[in-house]
Amino acid sequence: MHPDVYRLLIALMIGAIIGAEREYRSKSAGLRTMIMVSLSSCLFTILSIRIGLDSHDRIAANILTGLGFFGAGVIFRDENRISGITTATTIWMTAALGMAAGAGYEWLSLFATLIVLVVLIFLIYVQEWIESLNQARTYRIVCKFKKKTLYQYEELFKHYNMQVIRSVQHKTEERITGRWILIGSKENHQKLTAYLLNDSNIQELSF
């Protein structure tokens, strides 16, 4: 078997392994995407070595530039958080693994793939444990305006051991809206949410 074909098959396997994990978690970049990223990076690296007689990196160097735009496409922001950063960095890493395979560092690419799997599969449990101890959430409360602010809720937040890191209030003609970013444990967030859901003075609540 030709060495380049062997390297492409390794890149295919790397993309399939990482892509299967992303597909299992229903991420925007799944099995086929990761395979194509790994294969294309490997092929571009092989071509860069073969064509770039004077500068072997002239084609491969542009892989990272192109992936910057591609990775940005899977990052999006909803009301409370930014999502897709892990998927974007996984695309970046998959390309690096494909490049390593294409450059002839097959064992290095396979060992690095093992490390990536450890990070994606096992460290998520460590991340969830840390988030259960301390996490940030954005709360939005809308009440009928009664000629007073919503600072009484900040006292409530302190009662549930929440740290207020940002507070904004906005008044319209008949309503007043408050938005806070709170840091606390998952358990305390749940207790606070349960209390706020039963508060008859709150007309709208998001968290």
The pLDDT tens digits for 34-58 are 999 999 999 988 988 887 666 666 6
46 and 145 in contact (C-beta within 8 Å)?
no
**Alpha carbons 109 and 101: distance in angstroms, whole number:** 6
The pLDDT tens digits for 182-206 are 999 999 999 999 999 999 989 999 9
- Residue 94: pLDDT over 90: yes
Within 8 A by CB and 6+ apart from 29, the residues are 19, 22, 37, 74, 87, 90, 91
pLDDT at position 85 is: 82
Q: Which comes out higher in pLDDT, residue 149 or 31? A: 31
Q: Which domains does the chain have, with CATH numbers?
A: 3-131 (no CATH), 134-206 (3.30.70.260)
- Residue 109: pLDDT over 70: yes
pLDDT band of residue 81 (cuts 50, 70, 90) is low
Per the prediction, the chain carries an average pLDDT of 87
Which pTM was predicted? Answer: 0.72
Residue 20: in which H helix or E strand, if any? helix 3-24
Within 8 A by CB and 6+ apart from 195, the residues are 156, 160
